[in-house]
Chains A and B, each alone.
Chain A
Amino acid sequence: MSKLANNEREVVISATELTKQFGDFIATNAITFEVFRGEIFGFLGANGAGKTTAMKMLCGLSTPTRGRATVAGFDVSTESEKIKKNIGYMSQKFSLYEDLTVTENIRFYAGIYGLSIPVIKEKTAALLQQLNMKSQKNVLVKALPLGWKQKLAFSIAIIHDPAVVFLDEPTGGVDPITRREFWEMIYAATNRGTTAFVTTHYMDEAEYCNRISIMVDGKIEALGTPADLKSKFNSETMDDVFLKLARNAKRIGD
C-alpha cells in the first residue's frame, strides 16, 4: 500500500483551506489535507472539534464558507449530487432498516444507487455468499446479532463500489473477533481500491488506519501514520498522542 511515495499516489479527497463558519463561530478552520486511493484515513477529534462539520462538507451535505474540497474528483460546493453517487456511508447507529429483512435492505440500498435489477440480483447473491448469511437472508435485521448487522451495513455501504466510504465509529461495542473480521473487510475493500474515511473517538480504532489526522478546535493539529505520530509526540499509544493534543483544546464539547 505504502510502496509509492505520496506524490505519486492518486488523490481521492483533497481539501484546501476548507472552512465552515456559523456566525462568529468557526467550526472548521481552514483545514488542508489529502487522502489517497486505497487508504484507510482516520479522522479524529474530541467532541466539538469540528469533525462532523468537516465530514458533512466532504459528503456534499453542507457547503463550505471558504476554501475548496474535492471528493473523487468532484467539487463539494458545486457537484454535491455527483459526490453522493460516488460515496458510501455507514454509521454504527443508523444504517439499516431494522424491520426489513437482510435481502430487502440490500435491494433497497442497491436500488437507491440506481443499480440495475440484474446487477442487484447478482450483487445480493454475492454478498450473502461472502457474509455467509444465505440462511439468514429472509431474517429481519433486528433479529441479527450486532456484529452481523455491522458487517452487513458495511457491505451495503460499498455495494455500489464507491470511491470513498465514510465510516462513523464503525466498530464500537462489538466483540474483539467480530471487530477484527470487520477490519479485515475494510482492508479487503481498500485493497480493491476503495478509500475508507473513518471518524471515531476511540483511539484503538484509530490504530487500524494507515494515516490519521487529529482535529482540535477546528484545526488539524497532527497528521501522519500512527507510528509517526507516536514517535513525534513521544508517546506509546495513540490515546496518549490524542490526550497531549486535546488537553489544550479550548472548546468544551458541543
Chain B
Amino acid sequence: MIFAKQLTKSYKTKTEEVKALLSVDLNISKGEMFGVIGPDGAGKTSLFRILTTLLLADSGSATVNGLDVVKDYAKIRQQIGYMPGRFSLYQDLTVEENLQFFATIFNTTIEENYSLIKDIYEQIAPFKDRRAGQLSGGMKQKLALSCALIHRPVVLFLDEPTTGVDAVSRKEFWQMLKKLKNDGLTILVSTPYMDEAEQCDRIALIQEGKILMNNTPEKARASFTEPLFAIRSDNMYKLLHDLRDVNLVNAAHIFGEYIHISSPFINQETIVEELKLKGHNQIQLIQIDPSIEDVFIKLLTHLESHEQISE
C-alpha cells in the first residue's frame, strides 16, 4: 500500500544543511497499522509530508496505493486522509461546519460516509454547534480524525495524533484506530511516545532521519537479547551512580521508579551484596521483559558509539 525507497530530504538554513531523512525505506501492506516512532525532529513529519505529496524528496521514490507521489500527486490527494501534527481545524467554525467543509472539498457529503465516522462523531455530536476553538484537546482530536475520514480514504496518515491530549483521550483514540484498521483501512501513524508502539502491527524506530529498526513490536522486543533487570533502593540518585561504578553492569537507565540494568553476565546476588555494602537499603531487583523503550535506548546507544568511532 505504501512503498518508499531511499527517500532523502534535507533543508538548508543560512549556516548549515539539516538532514531530515537519510535513505528511508518503507513497505507497508494493505490493512496494516504502522507506527513511526521517534522523538521530535527525527524526521517523522518530513516523511509524512513526502508521502502525502506535500513535499518533494531530494532523492528516492515512493508510492501510495501504487501511485507515484510526484507524478500522480493529484490522484493520491483524492485517496488519502491526512491529519497533520497540529489539529488543523478552523477554530472559528463550529464542529459541524468544519466537518461539512471538509466533506465538500473532498466532493462528498457527511451523509454519504457517515457510517465510517459514526462511532467517533457521535461522541462529539452533542457539541456540534460549538466552535472548534473551544473544544478540549481530546475532542479536537476526534473532530480532526472525523474530518480526515469523511471521504473514506484508503490510507490514513496521522502525524503525532496523540500529542497534547490526556491519557483518557489517548486510550480512546487508539481504540478508534484499531476499529478503523479492522474495517480494512491502512494506517500510518507517528508518535514520540514509546508506550504507544505496542498498539501497532509494525513499527519503525526513527532517529535523526534514519530508521534504526523496522519490525513488529514483539520481534523488536525479542531483539533485546541480554537479560534485563529493574532495580530500586531507598536512594535512587545514589543508586544510579553506584550502579554505573560497578563493572558488572553494561548500562543503567532510569525507568520511572526503577533503574533498568542489563549485562550479559549479570549476577543478581553479587549486585545486591555490593550495593548493600555501599549503604543501600530496601533493594529490590527483578528480571523483566524489555519494552520498546529499552530497545530504542539500546539502538541509540549503539548509534552514538558508532558515531564516536567514525568521528
Direct contact of A and B (CB under 8 A): yes
Contacts from A to B (Cβ < 8 Å)? 1-3, 46-48, 143, 145-147, 172-178, 180, 183-184, 187-188, 190-191, 201-204, 207-208, 225-227, 238-239, 242-243, 246-247, 249, 252-254
Bound Cα distance from A190 to B238, whole angstroms:
12
Contacting pair A247 B168 (CB below 8 A):
yes
What are 17 A-B interface contacts by the 8 Å CB criterion?
A1-B235, A1-B237, A3-B234, A3-B235, A172-B163, A173-B192, A176-B293, A177-B304, A180-B254, A191-B237, A202-B167, A203-B167, A239-B195, A243-B167, A243-B168, A253-B136, A253-B139
Q: Is B193 an interface residue (CB 8 A)?
A: yes
Q: Is the CB of A226 within 8 A of B297?
A: no
Establish whether residues B254 and A187, one from each chain, have CB atoms under 8 Å apart when the complex forms.
yes
**Nearest neighbor of A38 in chain B, beta-carbon distance:** B237
- Using Cβ atoms and an 8 Å threshold, which residues of chain B touch A146? 39-41
Report the minimal beta-carbon distance from A80 to chain B, rounded to whole angstroms: 29
Count A-B pairs with CB separation below 8 Å: 108
- B42: nearest residue on chain A (CB-CB)? A175
Cβ of A175 and Cβ of B168 under 8 Å apart? no
Which residues in window 132-157 of B have CB below 8 A to A?
Answer: 135-139
- Identify the B interface with A (CB < 8 A): 13, 15, 38-42, 135-139, 163, 165-169, 171, 192-195, 207, 234-237, 240, 253-257, 281, 293, 296-297, 300-301, 304
Which residues in B have their C-beta under 8 angstroms from that of A247? 168
Q: Report A141 CB to chain B, min CB distance, Å.
A: 14
Q: Which residue on chain A has the smallest CB distance to residue B195?
A: A204
B166 in complex: contacting residue of A46, A226, A238, CB < 8 Å: A46
Which residues on the B side are within 8 Å of A46 (C-beta)?
166-168
Docked complex Cα distance between A191 and B235 (Å): 9
A226 to B257, CA, bound (A): 8
A180 to B294, CA, bound (A): 12
Cβ contacts under 8 Å, B194 to chain A: 176, 204
The answer to whether A180 touches B136 (Cβ under 8 A) is no
Known: A177-B304, A191-B237. 10 other contacts (CB 8 A): A145-B41, A172-B163, A175-B39, A176-B194, A177-B300, A184-B240, A201-B165, A202-B193, A204-B256, A239-B195
Complex alpha-carbon distance, A247 and B163, angstroms: 20
B40 touches A246 (CB 8 A): no
Q: Closest chain B residue to A190 by CB distance?
A: B237
